[in-house]
Structure 1
Amino acid sequence: MGRYLPIIIVALLTIYCVVEVAQASPYAVRRMPRWLWATVIICFPLIGSAFWLLLGRPNSASLSASARSSRPTAPDDDPDFLRGL
């Protein structure tokens, strides 16, 4: 069993990271697009997972920036709305 433990750990880490990439907001992911992160994690399981956890995973700054950019503005702040009046 001891021989297979590292393989099981890497497989579980890879699955965790792929699921996390799939659930992450597209605008909150850092450095690369989500599809490229998923490809890197699947092709290079240990290194890709480590890079995702360190470099690509959304952090509080990227989450607040994506929420701020996607938040609807007030109608009087929206130029398209004002043009339609």
Structure 2
Amino acid sequence: MLRVVPVVALLALWVWAFIDCLVTPEDEVRHLPKVVWVIVVLFFPLVGSIAWLVAGRDRTGARRGRVPWPSGPTAGYPEYERPKRPLAPDDDPEFLASLKRGNEQHEDMLKQWEADLRRREEELRRDGGHPEDGDRPGA
């Protein structure tokens, strides 16, 4: 019985390290390509498993911006880890900025039209009448 415990522990460590190596995303694997880690763990059960646990996986979570073992009521739910978007358009600063830019463009266009209208009215006053006056009978 005493001889079976180390064998079972080694087998459990090997299976756990092998499965962990298989399911770990490529961007969390360090020092060697993932395929090489799988081969090392598969062919060298004790040394490969310990090497994988010590040096193979990035357990800091720094690459993804997460803690390695999330805790709390939202642990394991990636939708809660995403940045929040405003719920309504009037809460969205980008949307409000686009409205302000649109309003400024419309105001500039109206100012140009008003200036053009004033210029045309001034030209008509200088010329002494309406251009349609020459087309009217009796004028």
Which one has the largest radius of gyration? 2
Which residue of 2 is the match for residue 27 of structure 1?
A: 27
Q: Size of the alignment, in residue pairs?
A: 64
Structure 1 gap ranges (5+): 65-85
The question of whether the paired residues in 2 share the 8 Å contact of 1:30 and 1:57 is answered with: yes
Q: What is the 5 A alignment of 1:46-85? A: 46-59=46-59, 60-64=61-65
TM-score, normalised by the number of residues in structure 2? 0.43
Q: Secondary structure at the match of 1:61?
A: coil
Q: Secondary structure at the match of 1:36?
A: helix
Deviation readout 1:45-79 (Å, 9 max, x if unpaired): 11111110110112222444xxxxxxxxxxxxxxx
| 2:21 counterpart of 1:18 | no
Higher relative contact order (CA 8 A, sep 6+): 1
2: CA distance, partners of 1:62 / 1:54:
17
Structure 2 gap ranges (5+): 66-139
Report the CA distance between 1:34 and its aligned residue: 1.2
Alignment identity in percent?
30
Deviation readout 1:13-50 (Å, 9 max, x if unpaired): 01001110111011110011111111111111111111
Question: Whose helix proportion is higher, 1 or 2?
Answer: 1
Which residue of 2 is the match for residue 6 of structure 1?
A: 6
